[in-house]
C-alpha cells in the first residue's frame, strides 16, 4: 500500500483542511470522546482523552464492586482474577504477538526493571545498549538493575550517540554493537522528543547478529503504530496505555515476552505472576505462570485497568491500520503546513519527513519554544514543550481533525510573527 500523504493538490487553506475532514473515515470517532470545551487538544502522546467507552468500563467495574464485593474476582463479567491476561489477549494483535505473550500489569518503569533484570539474570548479561535520546526513566531503571548486580552503569550502560540531536540511526546502533560486547539492546520504538519511528526489525536483526537480545519501549507507538513483534523476532517490550490507547492517567501498563523466554525466572517476582491454577494454595515457593503472565507482580489494580478495556473497544472498532493511516496523513499535513506557513518565522521540523519513519507526533523547533507553548495554552491549544527547543504537536487520529491542525498552525504563526511570546516569562534558568 502506498504511504498516505495529503497529495500534490495540497493547499494551506482552511477549505482544503475541511475537504480532508469530509473525506476522513474516522471522523465520527471523535464523538466517542470527551473533548474539553474550547480546546484543540494536541497532547495525545502524553495523555489520551477519556472516551465514553472507557467511562462505561469503569462504571461497570464500580457497579460490580458495589454488587459483588469480593465475589467480583470470580463472578464479575469479565472476572477480575484473569483481567490482566484478558487485556493482554486484546492488546496482542496491536503488537503482532501471540495472546500468551502479552499481559497487562505494573507500570512501564516497573516492567523495564523486571524484564531487563530477568534477561540479565537468565543470560548472564552485563552490558545494555541504549541511546542518548531516550526517555530518562529507561536509563534510571536499567542503571538500577545493573547496580543491583554489582555492575557500574558508567561502564555497563552504553549509549548510542545521535549525530543530529534528533534521531538514532540503525547504522549507529550497528557501529556500537561492532565496537562493544553488548548483551541487551534496549531502544524506544519512537523517540519521545523528535517523534522518529525507529526500525524495530533492523535493530532486532542487528542485535541478534551480534549475540544480543532486543527489547523495546513502545510507549510512544502502541495504539497508533501497528507492530509485528513476533514476525520481527523481538525478545521483549514494554509500553504504557495512557497515551494513544487513551486508558487514563496512571493506567496499567503492558508488556510482551517472546515465548522462547517463558522459562526465564522473573527478576521481580510477585504473587500475581504465580501460576493461576495454584496461586491460592499460598505456597512459599514461587511457581511462575507458564507465559507472559509470570511478569505480573502485585494484584491487578482493577479500577486502573478497566478504562483500558473500554478504550480498546474504540481502537479495535477503528482498526489499528486505519488509525495509522490517518495519523500519517495528519502528521504529513502538519509538516506541509509548517513548511508553508512557519518556516519563515524561525520554526523547523525536527521530525523525519518520511511518514514511514514518524510516530504520531511532530516536533516543531523554535528558539522560543517554551514561551510559544505557554502562549498556545492560553489560546486553548494543548501541546507540550520539551527542552531545549521543541513544541510537540500530537494530533491523535482518534479525535483530532485536519481543520484543528490548520488552526493550530495559524496560532503558531500569529504568536511568532507578532512576537506575542514576549508577554511570557522565560523558563526558569533562562532557557526559553
What are 315-362's pLDDT values in tens digits? 999 999 999 999 999 999 999 999 999 999 999 999 999 999 999 999
**pLDDT, tens only, 368-408:** 999 999 999 999 999 999 999 999 999 999 999 999 999 99
Is the Cβ–Cβ distance between 99 and 130 less than 8 Å? no
**Options 40, 243, 324, 336, the catalytic residue:** 243
Residue 8: active-site member? no
Is the Cβ–Cβ distance between 388 and 313 less than 8 Å? no
The rounded percent of the chain whose pLDDT value lies above 70 is 99
Residue 243: active-site member? yes
**Options 16, 186, 242, 385, the catalytic residue:** 242
**pLDDT, tens only, 192-226:** 999 999 999 999 999 999 999 999 999 999 999 99
The per-residue pLDDT for 1 is 58
Kindly state the greatest CA–CA separation across the chain: 70
> What is the reported pTM?
0.96
CATH code for 55-316? Answer: 3.40.640.10
Question: Strand, coil or helix: what is 316?
Answer: helix
Residue 135: active-site member? yes
Hey, what's the cell of 39? 480546546
CA 106/CA 125 separation, integer angstroms: 24
**pLDDT, tens only, 297-306:** 999 999 999 9
**Options 324, 336, 392, 413, the catalytic residue:** 392
Q: Do the bridges between strand 184-188 and strand 381-382 make them parallel or antiparallel, or are there none, so unpaired?
A: unpaired
| Grid-cell match 500519517, residue found | 328
**Options 10, 135, 140, 286, the catalytic residue:** 135
**Options 43, 217, 235, 309, the catalytic residue:** 217
The domains of the chain are located at: 14-32+319-423, 55-316
Residue 18: active-site member? no
CATH code for 14-32+319-423? Answer: 3.90.1150.10
Q: In b/e form, how buried is each residue of 241-254, taking b as 16+ CB within 10 angstroms?
A: bbbbbbbbeebbbb
Amino acid at each position: 500500500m502506498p504511504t498516505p500523504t495529503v497529495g500534490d493538490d495540497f493547499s494551506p487553506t482552511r477549505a482544503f483542511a475541511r475537504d480532508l475532514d469530509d473525506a476522513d473515515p474516522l471522523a465520527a470517532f471523535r464523538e466517542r470522546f470527551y473533548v474539553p470545551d474550547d480546546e484543540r487538544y494536541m497532547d495525545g502522546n502524553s495523555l489520551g482523552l477519556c472516551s465514553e467507552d472507557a467511562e462505561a468500563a469503569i462504571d461497570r467495574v464500580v457497579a460490580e464492586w458495589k454488587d459483588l464485593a469480593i465475589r467480583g474476582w470470580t463472578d464479575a463479567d469479565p472476572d477480575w482474577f484473569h483481567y490482566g491476561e484478558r487485556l493482554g489477549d486484546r492488546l496482542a494483535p496491536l503488537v503482532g504477538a501471540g495472546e500468551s505473550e502479552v499481559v497487562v500489569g505494573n507500570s512501564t518503569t516497573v516492567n523495564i526493571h523486571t524484564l531487563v533484570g530477568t534477561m540479565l539474570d537468565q543470560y548472564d548479561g552485563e552490558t545494555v545498549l541504549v541511546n542518548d535520546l531516550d526517555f530518562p526513566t529507561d536509563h534510571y531503571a536499567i542503571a538500577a538493575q545493573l547496580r543491583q548486580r554489582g555492575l557500574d552503569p558508567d561502564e555497563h550502560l552504553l549509549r548510542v550517540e545521535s549525530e543530529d540531536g534528533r534521531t538514532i540511526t540503525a547504522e549507529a546502533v550497528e557501529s556500537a554493537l561492532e565496537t562493544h560486547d553488548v548483551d541487551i539492546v534496549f531502544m524506544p520504538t519512537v523517540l519521545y522528543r523528535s517523534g522518529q519511528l525507529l526500525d524495530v526489525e533492523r535493530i532486532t536483526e542487528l542485535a541478534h547478529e551480534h549475540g544480543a537480545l532486543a527489547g523495546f519501549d513502545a510507549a510512544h507507538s502502541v495504539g497508533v503504530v501497528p507492530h509485528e513483534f513476533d514476525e520481527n523476532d523481538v525478545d521483549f517490550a514494554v509500553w504504557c496505555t495512557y497515551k494513544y490507547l487513551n486508558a487514563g492517567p496512571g493506567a496499567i501498563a503492558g508488556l510482551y515476552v517472546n515465548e522462547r523466554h517463558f522459562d526465564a525466572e522473573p527478576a521481580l517476582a510477585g504473587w500475581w505472576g504465580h501460576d493461576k491454577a495454584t496461586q491460592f494454595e499460598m505456597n512459599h515457593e514461587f511457581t511462575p505462570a507458564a507465559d507472559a503472565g509470570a511478569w505480573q507482580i502485585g494484584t491487578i489494580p482493577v479500577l486502573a485497568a478497566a478504562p483500558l478495556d473500554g478504550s480498546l473497544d474504540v481502537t479495535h472498532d477503528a482498526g489499528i491500520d486505519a488509525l495509522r493511516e490517518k495519523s500519517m496523513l495528519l502528521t504529513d499535513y502538519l509538516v506541509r503546513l509548517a513548511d508553508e506557513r512557519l518556516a519563515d518565522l524561525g520554526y523547523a521540523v525536527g521530525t523525519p519527513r518520511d511518514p514511514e519513519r514518524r510516530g504520531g507526533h511532530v516536533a516543531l523547533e523554535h528558539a522560543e519554544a517554551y514561551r510559544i507553548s505557554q502562549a498556545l495554552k492560553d489560546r486553548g491549544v494543548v501541546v507540550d514543550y520539551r527542552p531545549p527547543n521543541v513544541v510537540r504537536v500530537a494530533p491523535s487520529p482518534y479525535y483530532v481533525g485536519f481543520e484543528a491542525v490548520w488552526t493550530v498552525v495559524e496560532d503558531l504563526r500569529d504568536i511568532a510573527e507578532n512576537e506575542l511570546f514576549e508577554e511570557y516569562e522565560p523558563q526558569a534558568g533562562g532557557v526559553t
